[in-house]
Amino acid sequence: MSTAALDGTGLARAIRQSIERDGCSTALVTSDKEVGFAELGRLADGIGEQLTAAGVTPETGLAVLAEKSVPVIGTVLAAAELGIPTLLLSPLLPGATRRQALQESGCGFLADVSGPDPITRVESASGPSNCALMLTTSGSSGTPKVVRLGAAAVARFLRWGRTTFDLGPDRASLSLAPLNFDLSLLDVWATLAAGGSSVLIGEQTALRGAEVLHQIARHRVRLVQAVPLFFHQMLEAAAGPLDCVEHVIVTGDRITQETLDGVRLIFPKALLHNVYGATETNDSFLHTITPTDPRPQVPLPIGRPIDGVTALLVDDDGRPVDGAGTGRLVVRTPFQADGYSDGDLHAASFITRADSGAMFFVTSDRIRRDTDGLCHYEGRCDRKVKVRGVLIDLDELEVVLCRHEAVREAAALATPDPVSGQRISVVVSVTELTPGLGVALRLHCSGSLHRAGVPGAFHLGTGPLPRTTTGKIDRRRAHREVADTERKIA
């Protein structure tokens, strides 16, 4: 690799240093091989030449279909080296949503390393804004939001991750999350930048607890970061404690008492971190429990703002809450995105404070602050829920359903689920009950929504949905009536 000056994130430069220090040391572990830093560097060199030959430049940008694989990681590194803004795109996004995200990002090329044409030109690309990485929010993706991460913000996060979680040479991190998730900034990119190795677990394997625990023990993994679902799966398969793990990060959702107790048993020597953050801000709050602390009770606090984070709570009238109290979180972090690609969306969620001129992200989360400054997650201000760690907008799901010609109205509701966090079910009033309509509606949803946003259960009927006294759909009553009917049938 050569042109380090353009590598604003420091990622490629850090990897080159690892090659010089010990090129044979392991950078990536997959199900069937281990890849050293020197090999990864050579791979990135070759891909960099291909990108240049294809005409990919910092002005065109590059979208990468982010299958979790060594060639994809090599592609991202090559793009970082060449200073090319890179969009990490979920391979699971439905076609129309993918096209929308691509257009939103402005990227002029798409890299699909497993396809017949690894690098293809994207029609009518406008060119990306100046940034290092672009992620899409883990929303239900009817309207994908492309989050632009600047090089300096990414560089600050790589440094923070390294010092906070003791990343370094000969120390392995487990990569369970998809590569396009913000979690990968820590367990893949910060780990590699620190000279450590990332143990890549594919989507099909990630939920097989026994296999994941085997990989942790085999590669003496020091850092495990996951949403509670994955820990739940590990506990089901756990045979005994694993002393190698030093840091366990729980993020993305609330953990149950049973899973929390189990995690402390199978990783008895680990510091347990409850991390709060959003794709737009990255990690913002941290709460750490040591192995000798008394048994923590759920829900765990989200803790206190990380160094350099400014967290404001705002009440329903937009007034700041000082000291103890509850309000919507408005936050600014050192790792924060430059914003969304879409100007209107950006203006709705990012505000610049008149007093400091600093940009803050307006979350949809309600946070309670204790008298001693410890913060707790209280819930959301909107109808978004987490399903398997993915943020799903129930309002948006209803809108998508109502676009189907057979649907009059729909009421989506989420109920707590010990495994997936929340389970979505939907009561749908249709014009006519025809054979196969349930499957047709599911296909309709999967064409526009993230897979996690497709309801687990559809309840179809031809009658109108119940209303509240103010004329709004009474979602809880609609679901209660369905449950009552099903009980009677059973």
Partner 1 sequence: MTVIEQLEKYVAQEFLGQPGEAIPTDLDLLNSAILDSLGMLKMIAWIETTFDAVISDQDLDPENFRSIGSIAEFVERAGSVRTVA
* Interaction between residue 435 and partner 1 (CB under 8 A): yes
For 214, the token pair is 């085997």
Among positions 38, 54, 152, 207, the unique one binding partner 1 when judged by CB under 8 A: 207
* Interaction between residue 35 and partner 1 (CB under 8 A): no
Residue 17 or 415 with smaller CB distance to partner 1 = 415
Among positions 220, 366, 408, 451, the unique one binding partner 1 when judged by CB under 8 A: 451
* Interaction between residue 203 and partner 1 (CB under 8 A): yes
Residue 406 CB, shortest distance to partner 1, in Å, is 14
Helix axes 11-22 and 70-81, enclosed angle (nearest 10): 110
Phi, psi of 237 (to 5 degrees): -110, 0
From the list 280-288, 300-308, 396-404, 449-457, the region that binds partner 1 by CB under 8 A is 449-457
* Interaction between residue 380 and partner 1 (CB under 8 A): no
3-state secondary structure the chain: CCCHHHCCCCHHHHHHHHHHHHCCCEEEECCCCEEEHHHHHHHHHHHHHHHHHHCCCCCCCEEEECCCCHHHHHHHHHHHHCCCCEEEECCCCCHHHHHHHHHHHCCCEEECCCCCCCEEECCCCCCCCCCCEEEECCCCCCCCCEEEECHHHHHHHHHHHHHHCCCCCCCEEEECCCCCCCCHHHHHHHHHHCCCEEEECCHHHHCCHHHHHHHHHHCCEEEEEECHHHHHHHHHHCCCCCCCCCEEEEECCCCCHHHHHHHHHHCCCCEEEEEEEECCCEEEEEEEECCCCCCCCCCCCCEEECCCCEEEEECCCCCECCCCEEEEEEEECCCCCCEECCHHHHHHHEEECCCCCCEEEEEEEEEEECCCCCEEEEEECCCEEEECCEEEEHHHHHHHHHCCCCEEEEEEEEEEECCCEEEEEEEEEECCCCCCHHHHHHHHHHCCCCHHHCCCEEEEECCCCCECCCCCECHHHHHHHHHHHHHHHC
Among positions 143, 359, 419, 481, the unique one binding partner 1 when judged by CB under 8 A: 419
Residues in 453-472 that interact with partner 1 by CB under 8 A = 454-460
CB-side exposure of 482: number of CA atoms within 13 Å? 23
* Interaction between residue 141 and partner 1 (CB under 8 A): no
Q: List the one residue out of 247, 70, 78 whose CA is nearest residue 161.
A: 247
Among positions 32, 124, 204, 318, the unique one binding partner 1 when judged by CB under 8 A: 204
Among positions 436, 463, 470, 487, the unique one binding partner 1 when judged by CB under 8 A: 436
Residue 207 CB, shortest distance to partner 1, in Å, is 5
What mask, x for binding partner 1 by CB under 8 A, covers residues 210 to 249? Answer: -x-----------------x--------------------
Residue 303 or 455 with smaller CB distance to partner 1 = 455
Among positions 21, 442, 467, 476, the unique one binding partner 1 when judged by CB under 8 A: 442
Among positions 413, 445, 465, 473, the unique one binding partner 1 when judged by CB under 8 A: 445
Residue 149 or 413 with smaller CB distance to partner 1 = 413
* Interaction between residue 274 and partner 1 (CB under 8 A): no
Among positions 443, 467, 483, 484, the unique one binding partner 1 when judged by CB under 8 A: 443
Residue 233 or 284 with smaller CB distance to partner 1 = 233
Among positions 452, 465, 473, 478, the unique one binding partner 1 when judged by CB under 8 A: 452
Residues in 171-190 that interact with partner 1 by CB under 8 A = none
Question: What CA–CA distances, in Å, run from 274 to 201, 232, 305, 437?
Answer: 22, 16, 12, 42
Residue 208 or 477 with smaller CB distance to partner 1 = 208
Residue 318 or 463 with smaller CB distance to partner 1 = 463
Among positions 125, 185, 206, 221, the unique one binding partner 1 when judged by CB under 8 A: 206
From the list 50-58, 104-112, 326-334, 432-440, the region that binds partner 1 by CB under 8 A is 432-440
Residue 294 or 435 with smaller CB distance to partner 1 = 435
Pairing state between β 310-314 and 109-111: unpaired
Binding residues for partner 1, rule CB under 8 A, total 29
How far is 260 from 77, CA to CA, in rounded Å? Answer: 36
Residue 440 CB, shortest distance to partner 1, in Å, is 10
Residue 450 CB, shortest distance to partner 1, in Å, is 9
Residue 442 CB, shortest distance to partner 1, in Å, is 6
For 172, the token pair is 């392995």
Residue 438 or 466 with smaller CB distance to partner 1 = 438
Residue 177 CB, shortest distance to partner 1, in Å, is 13
Q: Which residues bind partner 1 (CB under 8 A)?
A: 203-204, 206-208, 211, 229, 388, 419-420, 425, 435-436, 438-439, 442-443, 445-446, 449, 451-452, 454-460
